[in-house]
Copies of this chain bind each other. A is one copy, B any other.
C-alpha cells in the first residue's frame, strides 16, 4: 500500500499531459490553462486509495481518477462564474481571462470529457461506476444550488446546512473512494462503509474549515481570520450561534450581519465565545471524525491495509480538544 503523498505524486505526473484536442484553440486552450493551475488532486487519489484498500491498483482506476478530476475542474470553472471569482490559486479564473461565454462552454466540454474518459474502463465496471458517477454529479449540482439559495435566506437550519455540505463537498469524496472500492472488487457492504467514511470525513473537514476561519492561527491558516464572518457566510458556527444564543444575542448577531461595523468580527467572535461555539464545533468535528473511523474500522480487510487512509484522515483533520 502506498501513502497519500506517494499516490498524489504519481497521479500528478500521470495527469500532467494535454487532455484536449488543439482545435478549436479558443475552446480548448482555456481548459488546458485551467488544468495547469494544479491542485492536490485529492479526489482521484482517494479513488486510487479506495482501490488499493482491497487489491492492487487497476489500470481502470487511473482512467476513473482522470474522469473524477476533470469533473471536479468542470465544477470549479462553473462555480467561479457563479461566484464572480476573479482568482483561483492566485491566477485568473477562466471567465476572467477568456470571458464568461467561453468559460461556460469550456466547463461544458470538460464535463463531457470526463464521461469520455470514464468510457475507457472495462465494460464489467462501466454501468455501476457510470451510475454512481452521475448520481454524485447531480448531487454536487444540487449542493451548489442550495448554497446559492442559502445566501439569500435569513434563516438556515443546521440540518439544511449539513445536507448542503454533504451534497456540495462530501459525496464527491465518498464516491471517489467507493468507485475505487468497486474496482478493487469490494463487496457491497465494504463499499458502503467506505462511502460513509468519506462522507463523514468530508463533513468533519468542513467543520474544521469553518472553525479555522474563526479560531485559526492566521500564520498557519494563511487566510484572514473572520473572513466568513465579514462575508456573512453561513457556517456551522454561525448557525449554531443563531440557534443557541439568547434572544438579545441573536438580535445583536443579526444587526452585526446586516451592516459592516469596524468591530464586526470581534463582536461576533465574542458571541461565539459566550455561546461556547468553539467547544461545540470541536465536539462536532470529533463526532464526525469518530464516525468516519468507526466505518473504516468495520470494513472487512486487514487493519494494516487501512493505515494510509487513517494517516490521510489524521493529516487532513488534526484533533484538537
B-binding residues in A (CB < 8 A): 24, 26-27, 74, 78, 81-82, 101-102, 104-105, 107-109, 111-113, 115-116, 119, 123, 126-127, 130-131, 134-135, 137-138, 141-142, 144-146, 148-149
Residue of B nearest to A20 (CB): B138
| CB–CB A104/B130 < 8 A | no
| CB–CB A138/B116 < 8 A | yes
| CB–CB B138/A130 < 8 A | no
Contacts A119-B130, A123-B123, A134-B115; is A24 near B149 (CB within 8 Å)? yes
- Chain B residues lying within 8 Å of A104, measured Cβ to Cβ, are 78, 81-82, 104
Q: How far is the CA of A145 from the CA of B145 in the complex (A)?
A: 26
| CB–CB A131/B119 < 8 A | yes
- Chain B residues lying within 8 Å of A112, measured Cβ to Cβ, are 111, 134, 137-138, 141
Contacts A108-B111, A123-B123; is A26 near B116 (CB within 8 Å)? no
Q: How far is the CA of A130 from the CA of B112 in the complex (A)?
A: 11
| CB–CB A108/B78 < 8 A | yes
Contacts A78-B105, A145-B24; is A138 near B113 (CB within 8 Å)? yes
Contacts A78-B108, A113-B138, A119-B127; is A101 near B148 (CB within 8 Å)? yes
A130 to chain B, nearest CB (A): 5
| CB–CB B111/A111 < 8 A | yes
